[in-house]
Structure 1
Amino acid sequence: MINPHRFSIGPIDAQIAMLRWGESGRPPALLVHGTGFVADVWDEVARQLASTYTVYALDRRGHGASHKPDAYHFLDYAEDVCRVIDALDLCDVYGIGHSAGATDLLLATKLRPGRFTRLFVMEPTVMDPRAARPGGLSEDSLTRVQGTLRRRAEFDSADTVFERYRTAPAFADWTEPSLRAYVRHGFVPLENGGVRLCCTPEIEFAILRPIYEAMEQVYVGDARGNPFVSLTEIDCPVRVTTAAKSGPIYKEMASRAVSLIPRVSTLVFEGAGHCVAQEVPERVVDAVREFAG
């Protein structure tokens, strides 16, 4: 089994950590993970796709070995994707993303028109700017976001993390290789032998606020404005997928994406939850190949 090649792009204070599977010279596929995870959770999918593509994946800002700045708006992430595309001089990219990582790709198509050949996006985080609501987050959502700050960040060992997460509802259906990849690369070792989350509760709190604002249709963006109107200008084919066991909000946001994107088709993964690529990676690979074909 060949391990992915690890490298980074960008200056030392703004580096984006990258993985590459497969040989150069093949069409590029760019994989972008969701909130809280790392590039390595794609490993089972990427290894299979590497027979056809040069497969790249990145640690999104705030995650893994990538930079940990203060800004976590949707366009910040989309601009990071563009940095990757520019640094690697990627063309005809097959973008494959999950959750907020899928949103990164959708928004990047506006910033780098003509660079993507197609997008396969699993339950993207999307608001419909045509149905924006005034005001801020509801008290319930504020409580949920603030609850992130109470998340446990340090553990005695990586084995302790694995055993704890193995029985947690969010990870119960993950394959063992996917969960072990997350535990290995989503935590940093400490001098006392313990481990700490790379995406700390404080960072995840900053990341989640814009996401919850998008969920509730109150996201207004920053000085650059609300970027979601650009989804109406995507010029490549897009497949938006949902998972039958996901929560209603994920299906609702996917429906918003479908209503905005011009050249769109849909797919439902039966019997799977939100983290479909870590639950049934073979089925994701088959679906990605089918859409390309």
Structure 2
Amino acid sequence: MSEWQRAQIEINQHQISYLRTGGEKPPIILLHGFTEDSSTWDEVAKALAPNYDLIMPDTIGHGESSRLPADGAIDPLQDLTVFIDTLGLQKTAIIGHSMGAAIAAEFTAQNPEKVAALVLEEVPWFDPASPPEIPQKFLAANNPTVIKNLSGSNLQEALTYSQEHHPDWDETAHKAWAGSKIRFDAEWFQADWKPQTNWEEIAAQIACPTLIISGQAAYGGMLSAAVVIKLLKIIPGAEWSNIVGAGHFVHYDKPVPYIETVMEFLKRNYPVKKA
């Protein structure tokens, strides 16, 4: 990890910070979830970096990127579009978790020629006919009031909270979760951002190989089987992996099967070109 580089790109008068593993390898953009940042991918990146050039941006108001503007007006999708263009990426794979998965899906729908493969982990899409029931385990560990209080707090306080609410996580996950919370801009809760919610329209425009990863409701998973079944019918050739014992943070809860699943998918759909 010492050779990984952190840099910034100015987009719409704010700075987007990103971590890049580098090398002459196929690129993959990894997009974190709400209140997380690029550190969420530490364990995943260590596994993928030998074969891929991983690019992990911090969404505005997260990590080391700029804080929100005074008016709260933001557009993470537009930021991603400019970000990818600025880096000169003609084609890339994208892996997204939660909010990052939603942004990744919408970008892919609007720019099909730029995305070679897509991984959607616990994308926050719900069946309009069945109002979502947010799992109690997720709510208990991600209470907005607590998240606001942790924003700007000290690392030990956030670590203690993570260890109490996620006893099965390893130390890498605890440090990433806790660190991202103290770097998070709590003004995001009042942000002027309205993401596209008609996910069936978005999914209908996705044509690249797509892997959908979900957790289980009993452990805090939010992506229902009913929604996934619809997605499998809409997205040509889409694949689904429901990882046993994982909740909303699949890559934290079950990192080994998560990484194995993603690597196997990439091997078939976004292979490394041998010299």
TM-score (norm 2): 0.79
* Secondary structure of residue in 1 paired with 2:208: coil
List aligned pairs for 1:34-73, cutoff 5 A. Answer: 34-67=33-66, 68-69=68-69, 70-72=72-74
- Structure 1: gaps (5+ residues): 138-143, 188-196, 220-225
The residue type equivalent to 1:181 in the other structure is A
- Residue of structure 2 in register with 1:160 after alignment: 157
Per-residue Cα deviation, 1:43-74 (whole angstroms, up to 9, x for no partner):
110011001000111111221222324235xx
The residue type equivalent to 1:250 in the other structure is L
TM-score (norm 1): 0.75
Q: Closer, same or farther in 2 for the Cα pair 1:258/1:205, shift >3 Å?
A: farther
**Distance of 2:153 and 2:27 partners within structure 1:** 39
- Residue of structure 2 in register with 1:289 after alignment: 263
**Distance of 2:251 and 2:20 partners within structure 1:** 18
Deviation at 1:105, TM superposition (A): 0.7
Contact 1:16/1:60 (8 A) holds in 2: yes
Report the number of matched residues: 253
Contact 2:6/2:20 (8 A) holds in 1: yes
The residue type equivalent to 2:240 in the other structure is T
List aligned pairs for 1:9-24, cutoff 5 A. Answer: 9-11=9-11, 13-21=13-21, 23-24=22-23
**Distance of 1:33 and 1:257 partners within structure 2:** 21
**Distance of 1:107 and 1:231 partners within structure 2:** 8
The residue type equivalent to 2:159 in the other structure is F
Contact 1:114/1:235 (8 A) holds in 2: no
Per-residue Cα deviation, 1:212-257 (whole angstroms, up to 9, x for no partner):
xx8xxxx5xxxxxx57513201120111111134446422554454
Contact 1:127/1:228 (8 A) holds in 2: no
* Secondary structure of residue in 2 paired with 1:231: helix
- Residue of structure 2 in register with 1:194 after alignment: none
Query: Which of 158, 176, 185 in structure 2 is aligned with 1:181?
Result: 176
* Secondary structure of residue in 2 paired with 1:34: coil
- Residue of structure 2 in register with 1:28 after alignment: 27
Query: Which of 233, 239, 262 in structure 1 is aligned with 2:211?
Result: 239
**Distance of 2:153 and 2:59 partners within structure 1:** 26
- Residue of structure 2 in register with 1:191 after alignment: none
* Secondary structure of residue in 1 paired with 2:13: helix
- Structure 2: gaps (5+ residues): 133-138, 269-275
Q: Closer, same or farther in 2 for the Cα pair 1:210/1:173, shift >3 Å?
A: farther
Contact 2:110/2:205 (8 A) holds in 1: no
Q: Closer, same or farther in 2 for the Cα pair 1:52/1:263, shift >3 Å?
A: same
Identity score, percent: 27
Deviation at 1:86, TM superposition (A): 0.6
